[in-house]
Amino acid sequence: MSLKLRAFICGTLTGEFGRLMEGGEGEITVPIPVFLIEHPKGRALFDTGLHPDCQHDPLGRLGERLAKLFRIDFNPGEEVSARLEVIDCHPAKIDFVISSHFHFDHVGGNALIPNATLIVQRREWDAGMAPDTAARHGYNPSDFDLGHKVRLINGEHDVFGDGSVVCLPTHGHTPGHQSLRVRLNSGDVVLTADACYFCRTLRERRLPRYVHDREAMLTSLDRLAALEKAGARLFFGHDPEFWQSVPQAPIPIT
């Protein structure tokens, strides 16, 4: 079976390090990754990055609170649709968008992928569709409630039915956060997304300052550590040092 995994960086965010990791000092600039999985049965994106409005009007797009928390460096040509077109992959031909969760830097590009089916944990969808919880978690339904077909899942989900791409529930950061296991010829890769921002998050169990459920997030980190111990390579969600070593599309991850 031929399966390819490609990574894109779709802009960066700069903000207070201590918000993203307990004990962090000063500011940190973190990448915003998006992944393309090319499978014989279809193409899937894992997350979609920022909305293109963030290139020229982050305050209008994100609101005052989020716009004050983060400085955005996101230029034309870095949005997910442009990244795809560079490798001759038309955004309208993406079959699935697998959402790790509904924060703005993970679903902002959904509007650029018009024909995909959205795959999301049911508990994340329910939180995003309830006005009170959506506001509490900083969700903007205009990022993800766009009329796409939606496949709501509960727990693990085999995307293509052959064990090669599997959604893994890693709740805690948000109510229904999920990571993704991709089985390459070289072995398993786990895309942690925000279940594990940094390598130090895993090694030292330093969580972000604000999470939905600390105990659930620690349990999710235990699961990721067990997968790593079993041989999987973990791709940390926003670790700038780690991402210096990740090949960028069009070069596939091997």
Domains of the chain, CATH where assigned = 4-243 (3.60.15.10)
Predicted confidence band at 184 (pLDDT cuts at 50, 70, 90)? very high
Cβ within 8 Å of residue 95, ≥6 positions away: 42, 43, 44, 115, 116, 117
pTM for the full predicted model: 0.97
Q: Picking from 43-52, 114-123, 133-142, 177-186, which range would have the lowest pLDDT averaged per residue? A: 133-142
Identify residue 159 by its one-letter amino acid code. V
Cα–Cα distance, 146 to 148 (Å, whole number): 6
Per-residue pLDDT of 12-69, as tens digits, reads 999 999 999 999 999 999 999 999 999 999 999 999 999 999 999 999 999 999 999 9
> What pLDDT does 2 receive?
84
As a whole number, mean pLDDT of residues 95-110 equals: 98
- The answer to whether residues 90 and 80 touch, using CB atoms and an 8 Å cutoff, is no
Six-digit token pair at 156? Answer: 């693990």
pLDDT tops 70 at residue 1: no
Cα–Cα distance, 199 to 20 (Å, whole number): 12
pLDDT tops 60 at residue 113: yes
Helices and strands (H and E) in the chain: how many? 11, 12
